[in-house]
Amino acid sequence: MTGELNEYNRKRDFDKTPEPEGVAAEPEGGLRFVVQHHLARRDHYDFRLEWQGALLSWAVPKGPSFDPRDKRLAIQVEDHPLEYRNFEGTIPKGEYGGGAVMLWDEGFWEPLGNAEDGLREGALKFVLRGRRLRGKWALVRLKEKEGDQKVNWLLLKDKDEYAKDSDGISEFTTSVRTGRTMAEIEQGQADKMGKNPFDAVDVQLAKLADAVPEGGGWLYELKFDGYRIVAYADGGGVRLVTRNGSDYTKRFAPIASSLADWAAGRAMVLDGEMVVTDSSGRTDFQALQNTMKNPGSQTLTYIVFDLLALDGEDLRGRRLDSRKETLEALLKNAPPSLRYSRHVVGNGTESFEAACRLGMEGIVGKRADSVYSGTRNGDWVKLKCAKRQEFVVGGTTLSGKKASG
């Protein structure tokens, strides 16, 4: 792949341009795409698809269009390094491509059919799952004419639920990462989107209990059977991280996309459970695992039960009931895939019995005045409806070949 980036490197002086140097990179899992608005000698959009460790790239003079009737010229240019999908800034005048570059859209893409065949035959069909561009699209290569210096394609929107009667791109004038306009990027203004005060956290854990806690000051929530996920949203992007620190953003890409759209650049850290529910509303862990093996086979839901940071402020030192009050208001207009974990104050025994009658996992009790310490200190307890113990059954048998065995 390094050879394929030679042209990219040859055209740039990396002592003068802030662009990343073209170095081969290993794919991270999940195919990324990016669209960069590029105000160079001619205003255009750069459309880039990750493939085999680099970004296949096309310059689209008029930009993509949501209208299936529009046939947008897409001029294939040199492959770019994967790191280029993070580039936003100004390339100095006099350098190749000099001018402002905005991260206009980003997300994941999925080929429909064999991508290698599509690229070779000049008819690549794919699905985009971006912040702005979604649904089915196609790149169709035009016949080369004598004297053509570039390979020309057409970028087309397929007819689906995301299609529009207009090109639809004029309404988007800011960066999906920094919230800046092209003028603000040219002026070197700072990132306008908030940043979280931390990018890693030890999750609060619940102790297993045999009985409902005595005394008042407790609130109770349903216990969910899924993956514990901390969501970090800021700068227009989202990371989904397990309790052990593994990044599951790509595995749960639909939720990451929903969170990014809903947060709209606002900085926040959420704690919750990634689940799949059955027709009765019960969480189904086996269905969740099947969905991870076969993406899209089931609908994912992120049930959020705590708010650790908002708009750059660390909220872990606040009381739990205060954090949940803010969280409930925050999620009021969230999409269906993002759900607030409701609770009851007191009535622990009744809540536990009701959960068991409904076939739920159990309940989690939390001290209403507790801070988020990131430990298993007894401020959170869990009561399970089904009491199970793992054990091994062993035995011996006599051998016919030996006197004993």
Residue 277 DSSP symbol:
B
Q: How far apart are CA 157 and CA 137, in angstroms?
A: 5
Instruction: Identify which of 129, 128, 156, 116 has the alpha carbon closest to the alpha carbon of residue 140.
Output: 156
**Annotation marks residue 164 as catalytic:** no
Sequence-separated (6 or more) residues with CB below 8 Å from residue 249: 238, 239, 240, 256
Q: CA-to-CA distance for 63 and 16, rounded, in angstroms? A: 28
Distance of alpha carbon 66 from its chain centroid, rounded?
23
Is 231:300 a contact under the CB 8 Å cutoff? no
Which residue's entry shows tokens 């065949």?
Answer: 117
Residues 6+ apart with CB under 8 A from 155: 47, 58, 60, 64, 65, 72, 73, 74, 137, 138, 139
Token output for 198: 């931390």
Q: What are phi and psi of 6, to 5 degrees?
A: -60, -40
At 7, list the tokens.
């042209």
Amino acid at 339: R
Quickly list DSSP for 117-135: HHHHHTEEEEEEEESS-EE
Catalytic residue among 223, 384, 387, 401: 223
Distances (CA, A) of 395 to 179, 290, 389, 399: 67, 35, 19, 13
- Partnered with residue 209 across adjacent β-strands are none
Candidates 389, 394, 264; CA nearest to 330 is: 264
Rounded Cα–Cα distance for residues 254 and 277 (Å): 16
Cα 131 to the center of its chain, rounded Å: 10
Between CA 221 and CA 227, with CA 222 as vertex, the angle to 5 degrees is: 110
Active site positions, annotated: 223
